[in-house]
Amino acid sequence: MQFSDVIGQPEAKKQIQRMLAEQRVPHALLFAGPEGCGKLPMALALAQRLLCQTPTPEGNACGECKNCRMASKLAHPDLHFTFPIIKPAGTSASGAVSDLFIDEWRELIKEKPYFTKQEWLKRMGVENQQAIIAVAEANNIIGKLLNVSSQGGKRVIIMWLAEQMNTEAANKLLKILEEPPHDTHFILTATHTEKMLDTILSRTQRIDFGPIDPADIQMALQQQCGLQPDDAHFIARAAKGSFTQALDQVSMNADTAQFFDMFVLLMRLCYMRKIKDLHEWSEQVSQWGREKQKAFLEYAQRLVRENFIYNFRLPDLNYMNREETNFSVNFARFINERNVIGISNEIAEAQRDIEQNVNPRMVFFDFTLKMIVLLIQ
């Protein structure tokens, strides 16, 4: 991965390349920003540059040396990955580490360097479990760093979704983050830094990533997906700065399509007050894994917001794909100033309940009943 492969993020690139030029890359960096903004691709690009034997005068990895070739294949012996996992059946707690899923990890990055947590869970073959970075992972990292560099140069540890570290793992890593071995660099990426321990945050130098400029997303869609300019422009606007959302719109993956269909069905059943059918709808959603349920509620929250804005007839403020926009033509009038806050609050309450492991059947059926009342306001 080269810096040129990272979509947009000119300010973050400048900050990183300035560090490289001045030879003052911190031993612990935190790339923070929303999902789909390119934190992991940037971490991969920086890792390859740090490992490169013959960087270019412009400060980029050469892409041709032995270290670059290994890093580009995600197989450099001094490039280590840490990411949230589930404990496979039959595996001891002490043995549940990222290395168990390294093949799946490499395959996913090679196929799609911009991906979501939900896509990673699917790649591991689970959707209804919480993936975490546990203390076994921290012990594994410390154990690896006890050895000398395999290639006699720098070592890089990339930790994806660092906010998924549990407290025990985070505390275990404090000392090595503060005083890592010589020529060792940690690159942490996080979407929700508010979930991280202050003691971890204070030991890293933070680089903030904002949403990707729509023009950069449009260009990437045209180059990587072969889209026509008009189609790429439409999707880039709807993606709200996230290349993963843009890719979802291109492929209209199964989850996104299902979320749209289930949202439309929910609204229609609520409007018609079909209680029996709403109970069946709730039963179906309750069978999904918790992460998928949370993702659906987040999707519903977005569509409610977009439909409220649609009423103002200001297309530059709307970020929906064509199918969503076509639905809004007739539906948007039902989301108005009398009920939009109430609907948004009910979705947020359902999100909190699911996060706290409340029975999903109760959560979703109760939610549908409240929606009946709110939609007629």
Q: What is the pLDDT of residues 251-268, one digit of tens each?
A: 765 677 899 999 999 999
Amino acid 237: pLDDT? 85
Alpha helices in the chain (DSSP H): 10-21, 39-51, 66-72, 102-111, 117-124, 135-145, 167-178, 198-201, 214-225, 229-238, 243-251, 254-272, 275-286, 290-310, 322-331, 340-355, 360-375
Which residues of the chain are modeled with pLDDT < 50?
none
- Model confidence over 97-134: pLDDT tens digits? 999 999 999 999 999 999 999 899 989 987 667 899 99
The total number of residues shown for the chain amounts to 377
Q: 248 near 36, Cβ under 8 Å?
A: no
Question: pTM of the entire structure?
Answer: 0.74
**Cα 363 from Cα 283, distance rounded (Å):** 10
Six token digits for residue 293? 């349920």
Among 1, 10, 2, which Cα is nearest to 216's? 10
Selected from 3.40.50.300, 3.20.20.70, 3.90.1150.10, 3.50.40.10, the CATH number assigned to the domain covering 3-208 reads 3.40.50.300
Query: What is the reported pLDDT for 128?
Result: 66
